[in-house]
Structure 1
Amino acid sequence: MTARPLLSEVLRHDVPASLVVFLVALPLSLGIAYASEAPLMAGLIAAVIGGVVAGVIGGSPMQVTGPAAGLVVVVAGMIAQFGWAMTCVITACAGVLQVIFGISRIARAALAVAPVVVHAMLAGIGITIALQQIHVLLGGEPRSSAWENLVALPPAVAHIHVLDAAIGALVIVLLVLWPRMPARLRIIPGPMVAIVAGTAVALALTLPIDRIALSGSLFDAIGLPAVPGTTPGGAPWHTQYAAIALGVLTVALIASVESLLSAVGVDKLHAGPRSNFDRELIGQGSANILSGALGGLPVTGVIIRGSANVAAGAITRWSAVLHGLWILLFATLLPNLVELIPQAALAGLLIVVGMQLVKLAHMRLARRTGDFVVYLATMLGVVFLNLLEGVGIGLGISIALLLWRVTRVQMQVRAAQPDGDAPNWTVELDGTLSFLSLPRLSKQLAQIPPRARVTFTLNADYIDHAISEAIADFRRAHEATGGTVMVIESTHAKLHQAHAAPPQRHFMSRALGFAPWRSWLPWEGHDGGSVLDGIGEYNQRAATALHPVIRDTATTKNPDALFLTCTDSRVMPNVITASGPGDLFTVRNVGNLVHPDDDSLSAALDFAVNSLNVSSVVVCGHSACAAIHELLKLPADAPTPVTRWLDHGRESLRCYRGEHPAQIDAAARGFADEDQLGVVNVAVQVARLRSHPLLAGALAAGRIEVIGAYFDVSTAYVYEVDIEGITERRLSGPAH
């Protein structure tokens, strides 16, 4: 590839995209500097350096770096405590720490922070910004804390400055309504439209309201300010080293986590190269070193700018670099335009930006996943205490919740059908069996009457001495009453091992229908795998666990669905349908094809519909299918048994070449050409089944439905396929 085509691509895609990002970043950079109570030019310096330095060095090609709302509270607190000059030093030192993180290759460790804590932290920051800036919008002065801002809100509303509030409200309304405007208008970013409109109205009406004030030019602001001998409060620096070190660590961690999470989010928006997280931290750290050294705010990767970059059509990192250069040109040539902006307009922008950090989707997700307590505690802690304490509280609660979930055992103790004079009781324990489960286990075992026949079924990844001893004690005491106790252990964690050595965690269900033979047999000294090895493993570990489930179907069969799928060994009908013994009546052939002259399939359909009374017939294809690969190059004469059979798939091939709706859907999801044909083939077989004479009566009576499915082997995800397209299938009932 020559340089000339690359240059033409940059000119065609990245230059226009960089202008869009510039229009988004300019007002946001000014607003974040204003909310942080830093020099306004510090926001522009940070935007220039973040765009250029992180854009060139960083490892996320589509990410755009600049001052971020997520650091507003931290920076404002540091400026109040240490002054602006020392805040710049802290920013540069945090950058050094980020570079060390990147060089040490620990970037992915930052992603281990519970997302619910990060989401709640950002929500708390957003609420804090909104509470602060609403006072500016009302024509007053913000207080030093969120609580004081909240308490002072009613008096501020009573003494509202109408003109400031009107300009701020105009900006908020435009920002809220702009996403609903026609696509042609939305080419211009909403923040720029709102700020320009608010400024234009204020100028046209010559409103007597406060405006942004710059203290010198961009070049006057560049350079690390001299650090005075004491803090703004008069304390000598040697008494503040611990607080300064904490500030460095705080900025480095928050900037790193936010940048990496933003990079992950931006990667989901495009199909280009993925992010190198270690290199991204080196780029972010380098930008923060230079930004702090030149008098700029700390920077992070920002999802708002990154998503705008992708949406605008950027294809390389040069869009982020060029956006920084456009900001540099603006700050150099047109700084006087900034002083025309009303403070209330910037406050309106910041209120919207702050509230955008509070996402209802994140709250719903936290509630669905049982993490809402973590979310609420973190958010309130950030708002009413401080950022570090709020995050610390959230992490503490999330770790405690994790320990509770990990150590909680699925425990069922119930009476089975009586057999003679002594009833049968089953005790099923599934999970991590530790001393933490003892109180609950002893309470459950106390229900079992004397002389009962008790069967323990243990499916544990970990068993400690306390549990082993408790079960042994129960066994001795119960057998002394005339009862019997049988223990079935279906995993490699055994009761007797807890007495012989420190307990170890074992993998559960390692080979029970999920792991291929070759993935586990070589680890135990085997040269290879065979079906006999698999049978032996099943008899040892799974037969006793399966028996209680399957014994009721030993003499009866009542499947709910006929499942037609390919002969490919990677398609596991029971696994991908979360079904068990007796649920599926399975039929396989090469390519999951339906043909009226296929007596084998016709017999299966007849038996399933008329004798077994199934309620659904399913056709399931899969990705990377060898039959579909052969179908694409099928010769005209079909000389072999395989090609003669695949000749029944020519209709699928014709529909694929005619751009079937299912093909269009599959292409939009990024499926390869062969897999697009596989999806179309499922849709065609669904149509054939719906017109099959053996199903006509049942379909007309509404007794059965015909369903299409497609198993993507690379992601292990199953899609629903119909004659009209492909969709994702979600759980329709209550989660469990």
Structure 2
Amino acid sequence: MSDLTQLLRRDLPASIVVFLIAIPLSLGIAAASGAPLLAGLVAAVVGGIVAGALGGAPLQVSGPAAGLTVIVAGAVADFGFAGTAAIVAVAGLLQMVLGASRLGRAALALSPAVVHGMLAGIGLVIALSQVHVMLGGAPQSSAWHNLRDLPEQIATHHGVAALLGALTVAILLLWPRLVRVSLLPAALVAVVSVTVLAALLGADVDRVRLPDEPLAGLIRPAWPDAPVREIVLAVVTIALVASVESLLSAVAVDRLHDGPRADLNRELVAQGAANTASGLLGGLPVTGVIVRSSTNVAAGARTRASAVMHGVWIAAFVLLWTDLLETIPMAVLAAVLIVVGLRLVSLAQMRTYARHRELPTYLVTALGVVFTDLLTGVALGMVTAALLILWRLARCEIRRAERAPGEWLVTINGTLAFVESARLTRELSALPPAADVDVELHLDYLDHGAFETIRNWREGYERAGGRVRIREVHDSWFSQATSGRLGGGKRTPRLIGSWSRWQDMDQQRRGAMEAGIAEFERTVAPLVRPQLADLARDGQRPQQLFITCADSRLVPNLITASGPGDLFCVRNVGNIVPPYGSGDASVGAAVEYAVDVLAVTTITVCGHSGCGAVRALMTGAAGPGSDLGDWLAHSGVRFSDPADEERCVTDNVLNQLANLRTYPTVRAAEASGRLRLAGMYFDLAEARMYEVDPILGDPRPVSSLPAA
């Protein structure tokens, strides 16, 4: 597809969709910030054109964001809007310095629980203030006052404004469920339909007010008459919050598409340039906005042209059709902001943080923002996060379970330090005497005091007739301490092993498979459960189809250091891909599913040393008439040197890559640049991976590490 065709078919329609969403949101955010409504539109234009043209995240759309509403409202109250515009311009300069210093990723070091808690708190503050506007009243000076006066506001205001606002909320909530047309976003439908209804009814309600001459109505920034310390604090606050929100949005947008990844430092410089321009033109601060950005991706945008064009459309609309904007009731914009604000309070995020035991940080930050102010709330959240880290560092989990009469399992997880010695002694002393005890240690750290506690207990327990076995999973802290090397040397990973290596007593009691499953559920499952839960909820998005042999010695996830959700695997005897239309559809179905549905970017065919299938092909041991012989015939391979087994394996790999290219879906994806085919050869004895040269067939080491 040519650049012009892509622009017309993809970016132009997407820009129109984003433009239609941006107009009501920009007006509403300006109203909630206590700023002139034109300032929100100026920020939307500058964010689209400047940040869109210069940014490092091509599909991100920038503009005024709900996350800065509370900060801007405070700045407007303290410095006036002209002073706030000057502060925004200086904050943009600070952002550019941060980006030029390559500190883009440093902004992401802030705990996500604090960031999302901050946004949730801001969302609640917006909703509590705008519900008064929707009911026909006026917002109070703080969230607490808005909450305190809300019952009286509900009881005394039941006018036309409240009905228009309630209808707007209903459309915003119901439209996405009933109609799935991307060109008709809910915010546009709600604002247009309720505005038309208000005009037909002749409703006497407050409406949008803009200057008759928009260009003449731009407010020039003026340096605020305030203490330097307060100005510096406002500049740093706007710069940091805008930076964090923009970078988090850029990272989130990266997960929505398969195009180029974001350059966060470049994006930060672009956001700074947009804020400086917006401030100088009398606009609100600009950030990357996930609502507009996700809409941009969903509408089919492919390049930054969509974001730039959406800014151009807003500018043209403001200059040519101001009268249309002035027909919108303020209660309608307030209703839009109520829904936007409440959506910042994400139940899915709360469940995630509860699962990761970070919910206290999220809640403290959110409630701190609501009942104090933004900086205090964020500071309380950071303190809570630090306290939780310290608590986890000094805490471990100890569980006792009776597996059979006279047999006990004690599992200790986490960090085991001397401060836990008393609790550890109490738990171990509760075991019945003269039992058979397995102690499993899943430790991140073990200090000498805790080691002495376990060793002394074991010696005393065994003297009293008991039996104790200590097994470490993942790291070997206890064995290092026993040999006098605690804190030094290499730690031994325990996740890798075969059943025969670690099964001793278990194998005598039950079969190998049952013992392996029990080992997985006891030692590995706690580590991978959060990732598997996310995959179960979000679905799989592997980047690679990995076709390899069914040989039991070959473990794909082990040799590629990959985990759940990384590889879409096909395994069969000889890593064979039957040609398209050969009559065997099993491999072909997997190939088409991987390319067309999962949109993998790489297909790898991996052979290995000592392959029994290749040896059978070399010797002709599996002739026609048997299932194995019929299957191997699909390979179609002709060996260049039948006496060289390694060369025969790589010849087979190259032939399967050729067979892959007989599939129309593979040819089309490879021709468009969406798919790459690769051949690999794994040497079992060396435990080393080689890449197969697609022309010469020679294996080349993938890594520069020395061979075993």
Q: Secondary structure at the match of 2:215?
A: helix
Deviations along 1:578-608, whole A, 9 cap, x unmatched? Answer: 699xxxxxxxx98559xxxxxxxxxxxxxxx
2:418 matched to 1:435? yes
- The 5-angstrom pairing of residues 153-552 of structure 1 reads 153-184=150-181, 186-215=182-211, 217-222=213-218, 224-229=220-225, 237-238=226-227, 241-412=228-399, 428-447=411-430, 458-471=441-454, 474=457, 491-494=475-478, 504=487, 509-510=492-493, 512-513=495-496, 546=502, 550-552=504-506
SS at match of 2:216: helix
Partner residue of 1:54 out of 51, 56, 65: 51
Equivalent residues of 1:624, 1:674 under 8 A apart: no
**Aligned twin of 1:667:** 596
Structure 1 vs Structure 2 CA RMSD = 4.1
Deviation at 1:66, TM superposition (A): 0.3
The structure-2 alpha-carbon separation of the partners of 1:590 and 1:38, relative to structure 1 and needing over 3 Å to count, comes to closer
Distance, in Å, in 2 between the alignment partners of 1:117 and 1:228 is 30
1:473 offset after TM fit, Å?
A: 5.2
How many angstroms apart in 2 are the aligned matches of 1:344 and 1:80? Answer: 22
1:112 aligned to 83, 101, 109, which one?
Answer: 109
Give, as a single letter, the amino acid of the residue that structure 2 aligns with 1:99. Answer: M
Partner of 1:10: 7
How far apart, CA to CA, are the structure 2 residues paired with 1:342 and 1:42? Answer: 18
Mapped contact 2:550–2:572 kept (Cα < 8 A): no
Moved more, 624-633 or 104-113: 624-633
Letter paired with 1:92:
A
Where does residue 553 of structure 1 map in the other structure?
A: 507
Q: Using the alignment, how far apart are the partners of 1:63 and 1:369 within structure 2? A: 29
Superposition pairs of residues 580-599 of structure 1, within 5 angstroms: 591-592=549-550
CA contact (8 A) 2:417 2:449 kept: yes
Cα shift at 1:506: 8.0
The range that moved more, 194-203 or 139-148, is 194-203
Matched residue type, 1:213: R
CA distance in 2, matches of 1:472, 1:555: 28
- The 2-side partners of 1:507 and 1:562 are apart by 26
| Residue of structure 2 in register with 1:652 after alignment | 584
Which piece of structure 1 moves more, 396-405 or 131-140?
Answer: 396-405
Q: Which moved more, 1:275-284 or 1:481-490?
A: 481-490
2:65 aligned residue? 68
2:569 to 620, 623, 647: 623
Residue 458 of structure 1: CA displacement?
Answer: 4.5
Aligned counterparts of 2:297 and 2:63: Cα–Cα separation in 1: 16
* Alignment deviations for residues 540-588 of structure 1 (CA, whole Å, 9 cap, x no partner): xx96xx45xx41322653746999xxxxxxxxx97999699xxxxxxxx
Alignment partners' CA distance in 2, 1:411 and 1:176? 47
Matches of 1:161 and 1:49, distance apart in 2: 39
TM-score by length of 2: 0.71
Query: Deviation digits for residues 412-466 of structure 1, max 9, x if unmatched?
Result: 4678989xxxx88776544322123223112223335788887765553422232
SS at match of 1:139: coil
- Mapped to 2, the partners of 1:446 and 1:560 lie a distance apart of 31
Letter in 1 for 2:195: T
C-alpha contact 2:507 2:515 (8 A) present in aligned 1: no
Change (3 A) 1:661 1:481: closer
**Offset of residue 626 of structure 1:** 8.6
Deviation per residue, 1:90-117 (Å, 9 max, x gap): 2222222222332232322333333333
Aligned length: 572
| Shift in CA distance, 96/498, structure 1 to aligned 2, threshold 3 Å | farther
Deviates further, 169-178 or 322-331:
169-178
Report the Cα distance in structure 2 between the residues aligned to 1:413 and 1:9, rounded to whole angstroms: 63
* CA distance in structure 2 between the partners assigned to 1:551 and 1:117 by the alignment: 47
Tell me the distance in 2 between the aligned counterparts of 1:16 and 1:387.
38
Deviations 1:467-517 (A, max 9, x none): 23434555677688798887666744357759989x748876526418xxx
Q: Distance in 2 between the 1:57 and 1:561 partners? A: 57
Q: Secondary structure at the residue paired with 1:322?
A: helix
Q: In 2 relative to 1, CA 454–212 (structure 1 residues): closer, same or farther, beyond 3 Å?
A: closer
- Residue pair 1:459, 1:508 contacting (<8 A) in 2 also: no
Shift of 1:44: 1.0
Deviation of residue 17 (structure 1)? 1.3
Residues in 1 aligned to 2:49 and 2:524: alpha-carbon distance in whole angstroms: 50
Quote how far apart the aligned CAs of 1:297 are.
Answer: 0.7
Length-normalised TM-score, structure 1: 0.69
| Aligned counterparts of 2:254 and 2:188: Cα–Cα separation in 1 | 25
Question: How far did 1:35 drift?
Answer: 0.6
In structure 2, the CA distance between the partners of 1:451 and 1:269, relative to structure 1 (3 Å rule), is closer
Q: Deviation digits for residues 178-199 of structure 1, max 9, x if unmatched?
A: 2134345x52222222222222
Moved more, 131-140 or 470-479: 470-479
Q: Which residue of 2 aligns with 1:81?
A: 78
**Aligned-residue identity in percent:** 44
Residue from 142, 149, 154 that aligns with 1:145: 142
